[in-house]
Amino acid sequence: MFKSFDQTFKFCTLAMAIALIYPNKNNIKKRLLCFGLLIISNLIQLYWFIVNIFESLIRLDMANITRHITVAIIVILFLFKTVYCICYGEKLGNLLNTISNDMIEANDKEEDFKNVMEKYIKKAKIGEIVWTILPGFLAMQYPLFAAICLIYDNITADYPQRYMVHEVEVPHLSNVQDDTPYFEFIFVMSLYTVMCLIPNFIGLEGFFCISTTHMCVKLKYVSCTIQKAFNDTTTSFELHNKIRDAIKRHQEALQFYEDLQNFFEPWLFAIFIMTSTCLSFNLYQISTLTSFDPKYVTFCITIVMHTYITCIFSSNLTQCAEEMTMDLYNAPWENRSDVIATKYLIFMIAKAQHSLQLGGYGVVVYNMELFVSIMKTSYSFYTLITSK
């Protein structure tokens, strides 16, 4: 009924493999080599981009500064995540192996636990599907918007305008960049860069949703084990053994949480800074436009969705941990009159009262309050950079 991670979450696995972040000790040198070649193949684009940002800063051209930095943030985040996942592949591999082992082990469990596993796998697949669609939609809107505008102008205008994937002044070619074959070369290079970015965001963001949901499975399994221990056992010996097994499972769940927090902590901190900045700059871009531009509006909505999804999955984990306390207390312990079992349960309830939250270096804690705070902070920053 349940299979390993790579067979259950195929889109996420494929994206991680293409993005060179799927943990495998045997091919780490090959992945580093491929990543180096990927950077080299995009050096021309990076050079153009850096020159445009530098020149915009010299001119204090806020419109172009915000426009270029918005895209630069996505590129920086891509580079950071790839390097981080390759360097800390062992941590990522431990999380992935734990998820695979737990899902395979669930085939031998009771029907109640299988139902819990099935329920949360469906939730994890929702996160996987969202992160399969969202990054592709965000990245491909740039070439699609440019292509649609090119086709429309060629049909309706006598002297059609040329639209780039991302408008830049190409150093040394600014006078001829709209002419054939330079324009076509720049367009293809930009499209290639966009395609390189997509798998990384599908893979790691999707894995975050899957791993946080799996943490909920581990907590629910502990609660389910305690319930069955008090309901189904007939002797104190059986009861004590079942509770000890639940305690062991609880410790394993807490260790998984520690591994989850340790691995994702730098990523969570980075996306907090970058998505907030990106959102503010996009609001500024929208405010300076004289007409409606779907590209920037779509980008803004996607950034909000990125923050929301990360916050909602983290919040679900925190809520599940809080529910565990009541699940343990609601076990029919009062029917057994077993002092030792009751003491075990008291210790478990006390341990379960520690809040399980995901955050970045103690600076941010991901929950729905943070989502509201980011929206307010981004708007405040937007008002600051637009003030005269």
Neighbour count for residue 36 (Cβ, 10 Å)? 10
Q: What is the pLDDT of residue 387?
A: 67
Range of the domain at 258: 5-140+197-386
Is residue 145 in some structural domain? no
Q: What is the mean pLDDT of each run of 10 residues along the chain (388 residues)?
A: 91 93 89 92 88 87 82 88 92 94 90 89 92 85 82 81 80 79 85 88 93 94 90 88 92 94 93 84 75 75 88 93 91 85 91 89 88 81 67
Is residue 182 in some structural domain? no
Is residue 162 in some structural domain? no
**Residues near 274 by Cβ (< 8 Å), separated by ≥ 6?**
73, 76, 77
Q: What are phi and psi of 360, to 5 degrees?
A: -125, 100
Q: What is the pLDDT of residue 290?
A: 62
Per-residue CA distances from 206 to 104, 162, 209, 276 (Å): 20, 36, 5, 20
Residue written as token pair 């972040």: 21
3-state secondary structure of 297: helix
For the residues of 159-220, what is the DSSP string, one character each?
SPPP--SS----TTTTTTTTSTTHHHHHHHHHHHHHHHHHHHHHHHHHHHHHHHHHHHHHHH
For the residues of 253-282, what is the DSSP string, one character each?
HHHHHHHHHHHHHHHHHHHHHHHHHHHHHH
Q: What are phi and psi of 141, to 5 degrees?
A: -65, -30
Task: Give CA–CA dist 200/203, Å, rounded.
Answer: 5
pTM for the whole structure: 0.90
Per-residue CA distances from 56 to 42, 47, 62, 64, 241 (Å): 21, 14, 7, 6, 68
Q: What is the pLDDT of residue 145?
A: 82
Is residue 146 in some structural domain? no
Is residue 345 in some structural domain? yes
Q: What is the pLDDT of residue 96?
A: 94
Q: What is the pLDDT of residue 171?
A: 81
Domain tally for the chain? 1
For the residues of 84-98, what is the DSSP string, one character each?
HHHHTHHHHHHHHHH
Is residue 257 in some structural domain? yes
Is residue 177 in some structural domain? no
Is residue 85 in some structural domain? yes
